[in-house]
Chain A
Amino acid sequence: MLDKLKDFLSHFFVTGEPMIYGADVAILLTLAGIIFVLTYLKKWKWLWREWLTTVDHKKIGIMYMLSSLLMLFRGGVDALLMRMQLAFPQWHFLDSNHYNEIFTTHGTIMILFMAMPLMFAFFNIVVPLQIGARDVAYPFLNAVSFWLFFFGAMLFNLSFVIGGSPDAGWLSYPPLSGMQFSPGPGQDFYIWGIQISGIGSLASGINFIMTILKMRAPGMKLMHMPLFTWSVLASCIIIIFAFPVLTVTLALLFIDRFFDGHLFTMTGGGNPMMYINLIWMWGHPEVYIVVLPAFGIFSEIVATFSQKKIFGYKSMVFSMMIISVLSYFTWVHHFFTMGAGANVNVFFAITTMAIGIPTGVKVFNWLFTMFRGRIQMTQPMLWTIAFIPCFVVGGATGVMLSAAPADYQYHNSYFLVAHFHQVLIGGVVFGFFAGLYYWWPKMFGFKLDDRLGKWAFWTWNIGFYVCFMPQYALGFMGMTRRIYTYDFDMGWGPLNVISTVGAFFMGIGFIFQAWQILHGIKYGERDVTGDPWNGRTLEWSIPSPPPHYNFAVIPTVTGQDAWWTIKKERKKKKAKETATFSPIHMPKNSGIPFIMSVFWFIAGFGLTFHWVWMAIFGLTGVGACLLARSFQYNSDYYIPVDEIRHTEDSVGRVG
């Protein structure tokens, strides 16, 4: 009996790796620390009332942001471990198995659990404020989305210490990811971690489309919307078409693994190519899902800090819409080397190149927004300016990759690795950083320190080029991705050392940013105006941080740059308007999204270990939560006028 238990535990927990034991200890200590602090300060109730049950889009956005920064840390540590291992030829820092797990989790986490939630953070925090709304269209669903993402991410991360991490690459191609070549729970963690959080992403996509279409302030026509809101709309349109594909693909993979199906093996009439087609039908649009909002962020920032209207607004909107359609016609460029034949390759080569056109147009529009403006070198603007050369070069290498016969040489090489890191870091990460610095005062009511910010900026940027430029060269030298070691005689050593040094520079950049946040909490310059940057859009018209009903009085919009216009008019009139308040209708907090997601987690855990009883228990819990919600009639309330007046007074606004 005891032996049986021992055997089970040694499989259940990941054993045999000193680093993992270290992680076990760290996780237990952190958990104990959190529990102790919450108990000591008697904050459990506060945590439940203010955060776990909240349906306030701003708080949900902040939770998205914090979890995503945490995931950035984890994915970043993964990256540094990999770079350490690759620094020298025949270096024994990690073994093959461990390395494979690390690059798989690095990719998955960075895209799905870092970039996506950080993007949703901006959706949540900014969109309702920019369109003059008091909430999103479905606040309860919004909370469900967040908690599904959160518990999906937790499930995925758990594989690190329980059961073993997935190790078949971030897109898990079969047959490698099938039962035959990947027994054990790793791949199932992958499937269910992504599946659960994916449902949340799809719901968010629907939620924000509805929010943008239905909840805009009176007078705000579609062509009056801020470009960030436009980019969110474009991105959400892609989400609602792409994520169902992912859900189905992973479900089919699970059928192969759990029910011994043959959907993705040739024996039995399936086809692995089908999986690769399906996963990239999601995977390529996914790239545009995360990069379009970054484009939106840059558009806001470049206009604000050039103190000028955005150049070519219509062109910008048009190009984003084209991208959202074209993004569905490029997926095959991820496997030009799969022998699809010349006609198919030529078609997808040209559609891929074509997407470079609307993207390039945006760069020119940003440049000409700065042209004849007055450029203020604030932190958000620094990241925006750094983004342009980085993204232009990354885009150019993307066009190079899209020439199919040339891709036969680049495919799966470090050239490719360098390219997608350049567009994803240069485009998405720089964009989201720019957005964080830009909206930080709005979220928290204080600015982040400039000096530390500049250190972070330069270490990140220098680190980036030092890390990834050598990788283009390594690609030309024939180095393939995902190898954990290489021989001396290839001559790949020196460039790999340089690349590793660069990666550590970026790590230092991240430390500066963490420091900047801690520093800001204590010493940060408080924003009492609500409009620290002299902004142009409606989010800057309300106090920072905004009261939970956002707008005491919903503004009326007459054109683009609504807040800019209002400010100009006020200057002319010089008189203060007196507002008349009316009671505000708001949704009530609810614990159901949190509890339901816990049940999803339990179900996912059961399915991962193929423990059917546990999966049934979890899914029953999910059903019970849905049922409970359908009987919840008392789910909203009105904020009385007195309370609004009181809140507005306390933030220095006269009612």
Chain B
Amino acid sequence: MHISKLIILSVFITIFLAGCDSRYLILNPQGAVAQKEYQLIIFSIILCTIVVIPVLGLLVYIVLRYRDKPGNKALYRPDWDDSKRLEFIWWGIPIIIIGILGFATAKTTYDLVDPPKKDVKPLTIEVTSLDWKWLFQYPDQDIATVNYVEIPKGVPVQFVLTSDAPMNSFWVPQLGGQLYTMPGMAMGLWLQADHKGEYFGSGANFTGEGFAHMNFKVKSTSTKEFNQWVKQVKETSPALTKADYSNLAQQGLSLEKSYSTIPKGLFQEIVIKNGGQYYSQHHHMKNEDMKIMNVASEKQVHAQHEHQEGGN
């Protein structure tokens, strides 16, 4: 029996000591959003421990004390089956704890709807999950990358997410939690990096054969370096054409890539193509994104007209 305990103990120790390791991404938040989530995680662990530890202690005590051994003098009351006072305690305490945790959860949930910083102009990056790669478009900078994102530190970034393949989930653990990417919908996720560094990102929702390889790098640099990088991409990379995009959208893996310009309205087209026109109620998106989508649907209508005219 003691061997088993030793093994369990050593496993726990390995895990907890290893928690200090920087590879425990969630426990090493590098941005305001991840930081808030991290605080809630720690808070929930503490609250749970308040219940778990006494229960485990109680279990060990009771099992040792009331074992059916000859000579056990502990009290034995086979018909004792009710105590209002005790039941009141163990209905009451969990209700209080859940109340506290529920409040903290609600507060953090509402906090995360808004950008982490309000006095800085946010950066928008449009993310499309493809089979099996990530396309990032920078509408304001008019550049695009594949499986690689660069962002300036200290600037809130709104990732607008969609998919041109089965739904996936966009996740950069050190910068903040994930959000699903779904065909025909565009949803906003605020993230922000507070330091320079390179962060691991991945698709978290299963999408088939190449799913395990859908990782990407997020690099955060100073604003100056970011602008330089944008300039460099503009100078050295090829333009993204619609044909390039159709190739990219084919099933298959891809290396990191960058493009100096993007076809106008490509992101909106992707959303519309997958049924975005049926999804008018963007209750979870900010006004800014609403604008993107409205422009898009107008364009789509326009494009359809043109197409029909061309056909005639």
* Residues on A facing B (Cβ under 8 Å): 96-97, 100, 167-169, 173, 175-176, 181, 265-273, 306-313, 315, 335, 337-342, 345-346, 349-350, 353-354, 356-357, 360-361, 363-364, 367-377, 385, 388-389, 392-393, 396-397, 399-400, 402-409, 411-413, 458, 461-462, 465-466, 469-470, 472-473, 475-478, 480-487, 490-491, 495, 498
A406 and B44 in contact, given A269-B278, A309-B81 (Cβ under 8 angstroms): yes
User: Could you tell me the distance between the alpha carbons of A354 and B96 in the complex, rounded to whole angstroms?
Assistant: 11
Q: Evaluate contact between A370 and B52: CB separation under 8 angstroms.
A: no
Q: Evaluate contact between A462 and B8: CB separation under 8 angstroms.
A: yes
* Candidates A374, A403, A461; contact of B66 at CB < 8 Å: A374
User: Could you tell me the distance between the alpha carbons of A483 and B212 in the complex, rounded to whole angstroms?
Assistant: 5
Q: Evaluate contact between A357 and B109: CB separation under 8 angstroms.
A: no
User: Which residues 24-55 of B sit at the A interface, judged by CB distance below 8 A?
Assistant: 24-27, 34, 36-38, 40-41, 44-45, 47-49, 51-52, 55
Closest-by-CB residue of A relative to B80 is A372
Q: Evaluate contact between A367 and B62: CB separation under 8 angstroms.
A: yes
A478 and B68 in contact, given A396-B48, A405-B112 (Cβ under 8 angstroms): no
Q: Evaluate contact between B11 and A476: CB separation under 8 angstroms.
A: no
Question: Residues of A contacting B79 with CB < 8 Å?
Answer: 308-309
Question: Residues of A contacting B78 with CB < 8 Å?
Answer: 307-309, 373
A370 and B15 in contact, given A272-B167, A377-B67, A478-B26 (Cβ under 8 angstroms): no
Q: Which of B140-148, B169-177, B230-238 contacts A (4 or more CB under 8 A)?
A: B169-177
User: Could you tell me the distance between the alpha carbons of A508 and B183 in the complex, rounded to whole angstroms?
Assistant: 45
Q: Evaluate contact between B212 and A349: CB separation under 8 angstroms.
A: no
Q: Which of B118-126, B197-205, B258-266, B292-300 contacts A (4 or more CB under 8 A)?
A: B197-205
Q: Evaluate contact between B94 and A356: CB separation under 8 angstroms.
A: yes
Q: Evaluate contact between A469 and B11: CB separation under 8 angstroms.
A: yes
Q: How near does chain A come to B179, taking the closest CB pair, in angstroms?
A: 5
A483 and B211 in contact, given A371-B66, A411-B204, A412-B205 (Cβ under 8 angstroms): yes
Question: Residues of B contacting A175 with CB < 8 Å?
Answer: 166-167, 183
User: Could you tell me the distance between the alpha carbons of A373 and B101 in the complex, rounded to whole angstroms?
Assistant: 35
Interface status of B301 (Cβ within 8 A of chain A)? no
Q: Evaluate contact between B8 and A389: CB separation under 8 angstroms.
A: no
Closest 4 A/B residue pairs (Cβ): A408-B177, A266-B275, A266-B184, A176-B166
Question: Residues of B contacting A403 with CB < 8 Å?
Answer: 40-41, 44, 101, 104-105, 108
Question: Residues of A contacting B203 with CB < 8 Å?
Answer: 480
A376 and B68 in contact, given A175-B183, A337-B177, A392-B55 (Cβ under 8 angstroms): yes
Q: Which of B82-90, B218-226, B241-249, B302-310 contacts A (4 or more CB under 8 A)?
A: B82-90
* Candidates A311, A374, A399; contact of B68 at CB < 8 Å: A374
Provide 13 A-B residue pairs closer than 8 Å at the C-beta atoms, listed in order of the A residue.
A181-B166, A266-B185, A338-B180, A371-B66, A372-B74, A389-B56, A389-B59, A400-B48, A404-B109, A409-B177, A466-B8, A478-B26, A498-B11
A477 and B23 in contact, given A266-B278, A307-B78, A399-B48 (Cβ under 8 angstroms): yes
Question: Residues of A contacting B113 with CB < 8 Å?
Answer: 342
Interface status of B187 (Cβ within 8 A of chain A)? yes
Q: How near does chain A come to B246, taking the closest CB pair, in angstroms?
A: 16
Question: Residues of B contacting A477 with CB < 8 Å?
Answer: 23-26
* Candidates A167, A337, A357, A373; contact of B94 at CB < 8 Å: A357
Q: How near does chain A come to B144, taking the closest CB pair, in angstroms?
A: 23
Q: Evaluate contact between B62 and A462: CB separation under 8 angstroms.
A: no
Interface status of B279 (Cβ within 8 A of chain A)? yes
Q: Evaluate contact between A470 and B26: CB separation under 8 angstroms.
A: no
Q: Evaluate contact between A96 and B184: CB separation under 8 angstroms.
A: no
User: Could you tell me the distance between the alpha carbons of A370 and B62 in the complex, rounded to whole angstroms?
Assistant: 7
* Residues on B facing A (Cβ under 8 Å): 1, 4, 7-8, 11-12, 14-15, 18-19, 21, 23-27, 34, 36-38, 40-41, 44-45, 47-49, 51-52, 55-56, 58-59, 62-63, 66-68, 72, 74-83, 86-87, 90-91, 94-95, 98, 101-102, 104-106, 108-113, 165-167, 169, 171, 173, 176-180, 182-185, 187, 200, 202-212, 215, 273-276, 278-279, 283-284
Closest-by-CB residue of A relative to B90 is A364
* Candidates B36, B169, B275; contact of A337 at CB < 8 Å: B169
Q: Evaluate contact between A406 and B41: CB separation under 8 angstroms.
A: yes
Judged by DSSP, the binding face of A is: helix
A373 and B284 in contact, given A337-B178, A368-B86 (Cβ under 8 angstroms): no
User: Could you tell me the distance between the alpha carbons of A442 and B207 in the complex, rounded to whole angstroms?
Assistant: 48
Q: Evaluate contact between B274 and A267: CB separation under 8 angstroms.
A: yes
Residue with the highest number of chain B CB atoms closer than 10 Å, among A370, A465, A477, A482:
A477
User: Could you tell me the distance between the alpha carbons of A473 and B24 in the complex, rounded to whole angstroms?
Assistant: 8
Q: Evaluate contact between A372 and B26: CB separation under 8 angstroms.
A: no
* Candidates A176, A313, A376, A389; contact of B207 at CB < 8 Å: A176
User: Could you tell me the distance between the alpha carbons of A481 and B179 in the complex, rounded to whole angstroms?
Assistant: 15
User: Could you tell me the distance between the alpha carbons of A371 and B78 in the complex, rounded to whole angstroms?
Assistant: 10
Extra contacts besides A350-B106, A406-B177, A484-B212 (17): CB < 8 Å: A96-B210, A96-B211, A307-B78, A309-B81, A353-B105, A361-B87, A374-B66, A399-B101, A403-B108, A405-B37, A405-B105, A408-B178, A409-B38, A411-B169, A470-B15, A478-B26, A490-B200
Q: Evaluate contact between B208 and A181: CB separation under 8 angstroms.
A: yes
* Candidates A96, A313, A404, A411; contact of B178 at CB < 8 Å: A411
User: Could you tell me the distance between the alpha carbons of A308 and B74 in the complex, rounded to whole angstroms?
Assistant: 14
Closest-by-CB residue of B relative to A177 is B166
Question: Residues of A contacting B187 with CB < 8 Å?
Answer: 339
Q: Evaluate contact between A388 and B279: CB separation under 8 angstroms.
A: no
Q: Evaluate contact between B45 and A400: CB separation under 8 angstroms.
A: yes
Closest-by-CB residue of A relative to B75 is A372
Question: Residues of A contacting B24 with CB < 8 Å?
Answer: 473, 476-477
* Candidates B87, B205, B279; contact of A266 at CB < 8 Å: B279
Question: Residues of A contacting B34 with CB < 8 Å?
Answer: 409
Q: How near does chain B come to A166, taking the closest CB pair, in angstroms?
A: 12
* Candidates B8, B179, B200; contact of A408 at CB < 8 Å: B179
Question: Residues of A contacting B87 with CB < 8 Å?
Answer: 312, 315, 361, 364
A396 and B51 in contact, given A100-B209, A175-B183, A412-B205 (Cβ under 8 angstroms): yes
* Candidates A364, A409, A472, A485; contact of B173 at CB < 8 Å: A409
Question: Residues of B contacting A413 with CB < 8 Å?
Answer: 204
Q: Evaluate contact between B74 and A486: CB separation under 8 angstroms.
A: no
Q: Evaluate contact between A385 and B63: CB separation under 8 angstroms.
A: yes
* Candidates A269, A342, A406; contact of B110 at CB < 8 Å: A342
A176 and B98 in contact, given A267-B184, A360-B51, A400-B41 (Cβ under 8 angstroms): no
Q: Evaluate contact between A372 and B77: CB separation under 8 angstroms.
A: yes
Q: Evaluate contact between A374 and B76: CB separation under 8 angstroms.
A: yes
User: Could you tell me the distance between the alpha carbons of A615 and B77 in the complex, rounded to whole angstroms?
Assistant: 63
Question: Residues of B contacting A367 with CB < 8 Å?
Answer: 55, 58-59, 62
User: Could you tell me the distance between the alpha carbons of A169 and B204 in the complex, rounded to whole angstroms?
Assistant: 13
* Candidates B51, B76, B109, B184; contact of A342 at CB < 8 Å: B109
Q: Evaluate contact between B40 and A312: CB separation under 8 angstroms.
A: no
Closest-by-CB residue of A relative to B106 is A346
Question: Residues of B contacting A476 with CB < 8 Å?
Answer: 19, 24-27
User: Could you tell me the distance between the alpha carbons of A425 and B224 in the complex, rounded to whole angstroms?
Assistant: 53
Question: Residues of B contacting A412 with CB < 8 Å?
Answer: 169, 171, 178, 204-206
